[in-house]
Structure 1
Amino acid sequence: MKRLFGLIGTPLSHSFSKTYFTEKFASEKILDAKYKEFPLKEIGMLPELIEKNPDLLGLNVTIPYKLKVMNFMDEVDSVANDVGAVNTIVVTRDKDYSKSISLKGYNTDVKGFELSLVPIIGPEHTSALVLGSGGAARAIIYVLKKLGIDYKVVSRNPTGGRSISYDDLTKDIMESHSLIINSSPVGIEPNTGAAPNIPYEYLNSTHILYDLIYNPEETEFLKRGKLAGATTKNGLEMLKAQAEKSWEIWNL
């Protein structure tokens, strides 16, 4: 029986995770593992999925379930607990693959984002805008705090404090926050013509625009940043780094 790993979320048409792991297994001659996509219409379907796939030993979690999936965990590691979001699950079963199942949640987005961000920032990048307020945003905020970078969260439904609305983005705020990170799904396949509603006219060559989306390779958000002279980066390197961390966790 091959070890089964997979991805849950909806939609999954944008994801490269299956391709990444399939190519990894082939290139590294890992013959006892396979990776599948499991589009779930609702997170409540998770227990049934695990029961119906007795060879399933690990899952990645994508939008929109990184927060909701925590309610299904028997245990959560310290980083995921601090972040408040899970994107990697270890499924532990009795050796006889009985119905005694335990789920432990981790957050590898933190490692993936940090490894991909640090090489492109400098001492001048002291303030960031995080677009979106979901599970991915929480991992970003965790890393920004660790690096000592001040931040504001830009949301359609701001809650006060560090959270502001898109309408609050003035020239001063845009110019004083030289790192802008899109953690929202705006611009993802199939809505590739969409872009977060920020005032792009206030961007300049001092800005870095980082989009967690990697499909398409260059989102409308990044295109507009590039036109303004900003440095741009998509989320593919982050995906690869967090995927490798997931694989490491699954094989502990």
Structure 2
Amino acid sequence: MRRFGLIGRPLGHSASAAYFTEKFAREGLSDHAYALYELPSIEALPGLLEQHPDLCGLNVTIPYKREVIRYLNAVSPEARAIGAVNCIRRTPDKGLEGFNTDIIGLREALSELLGLAEPEEALILGTGGASQAVQYALAERGIPFALVSRDAAKGNYTYDNLPCEVVGRSRLIVNASPVGTYPNVDEAPRIPYAYITPEHYLLDLVYNPEVTRFLDYGRQRGAHVLNGRTMFVEQAEASWRIWNGEELL
């Protein structure tokens, strides 16, 4: 059995198991399985690996994308530069190798959302592992950005002191926080949505629900919106390529 899975906490919102289970069935891979492993802390990872010696690949989600790095034998240069890992390959000879496939998904999502548009400024909501990949992707495109965090030490602004004019001129706004994820579908990042215009582009990395409250508020203001489904699919397929040895460190 080739076993794969997702580690994180909580995992009730995740579509990863359904996605890969359907993929394995479609491709006739009856000796493959994918499961959700909700870990109480990252310190539980060695025990999980010991319990499942046939685990040969893992995805990593909130809140362990940064914490998991210390357990890895090697990390790809791009994941190292981003500072977060969301994909692990496990082999007998090389142990645990870390990659970041979020960046692959983000490139596709930004291209789909923006088209030929070139926002002069961006605002990233959240400062966790997903946010680090967003920062990397925007830097690649030459788009200056500011960070909004609950912690004043981690961002340029907090949600309590975010100026309205910053929202108004930041024509690309990315929700890289888990706010609004199922089951908390009535929640949205606390920003002044009245300053969103039809010239704004809103990307939510959340894909469950399909239309988050964040995106709905933007849509009501005429903004261009995109949820996290494109990113999810692209990063999942990139993980599959890594697990099958198509990408090397």
Please classify the TM superposition score into its range, dividing by the shorter chain length: over 0.9
Look up the match of 2:59. Answer: 60
SS at match of 2:181: coil
SS at match of 1:125: coil
Residues 33-62 of structure 1 deviation map (CA, whole Å, 9 limit, x = unaligned)? 111111101110000100110110000001
Name the CA distance, whole Å, in 2 between partners of 1:24 and 1:224. 34
Name the CA distance, whole Å, in 1 between partners of 2:193 and 2:183. 22
Picking from 74, 99, 109, the partner of 2:102 is 109
Letter in 2 for 1:129: L
SS at match of 2:84: coil
Letter in 1 for 2:86: N
Look up the match of 1:90. Answer: 89
- The alpha carbon displacement at 1:158 in A equals 2.6
Look up the match of 1:227. Answer: 220
Question: Are 1:203 and 2:196 an aligned pair?
Answer: yes
Bigger mean CA offset, 113-122 vs 210-219: 113-122
Picking from 140, 145, 151, the partner of 1:151 is 145
Look up the match of 1:180. Answer: 173
SS at match of 1:168: coil
Look up the match of 2:41. Answer: 42
Misfit runs of 4+, over 4 Å = none
Letter in 2 for 1:230: A
Letter in 2 for 1:16: A
- The alpha carbon displacement at 1:126 in A equals 2.3
Look up the match of 2:68. Answer: 69
Question: Are 1:137 and 2:131 an aligned pair?
Answer: yes
Residues 109-137 of structure 1 deviation map (CA, whole Å, 9 limit, x = unaligned)? 00011111113213441211000000000
Name the CA distance, whole Å, in 2 between partners of 1:29 and 1:58. 19
With the length of structure 1 as denominator, give the TM-score of the two structures. 0.94
- Give unmatched runs, 5+ long, in structure 2: none
Residues 136-188 of structure 1 deviation map (CA, whole Å, 9 limit, x = unaligned)? 0000000000011110010011337x622123322321121100000111111
- The alpha carbon displacement at 1:30 in A equals 2.1
Residues 47-85 of structure 1 deviation map (CA, whole Å, 9 limit, x = unaligned)? 010011011000000111111111111110001000000
SS at match of 2:65: coil
Question: Are 1:216 and 2:218 an aligned pair?
Answer: no
Letter in 2 for 1:229: G
With the length of structure 2 as denominator, give the TM-score of the two structures. 0.95
Bigger mean CA offset, 36-45 vs 162-171: 162-171
Letter in 2 for 1:91: R
Letter in 2 for 1:90: R
Name the CA distance, whole Å, in 1 between partners of 2:106 and 2:226. 11
Residues 190-248 of structure 1 deviation map (CA, whole Å, 9 limit, x = unaligned)? 11111000000111101111110001111111111111111111101100000000000
Look up the match of 1:98. Answer: none
Question: Are 1:30 and 2:22 an aligned pair?
Answer: no
Letter in 2 for 1:62: T
Name the CA distance, whole Å, in 1 between partners of 2:122 and 2:28. 41
Name the CA distance, whole Å, in 2 between partners of 1:237 and 1:127. 23
Name the CA distance, whole Å, in 1 between partners of 2:21 and 2:81. 31
Preserved CA contact (<8 Å) 2:113 2:203:
no
Count of matched residue pairs:
244
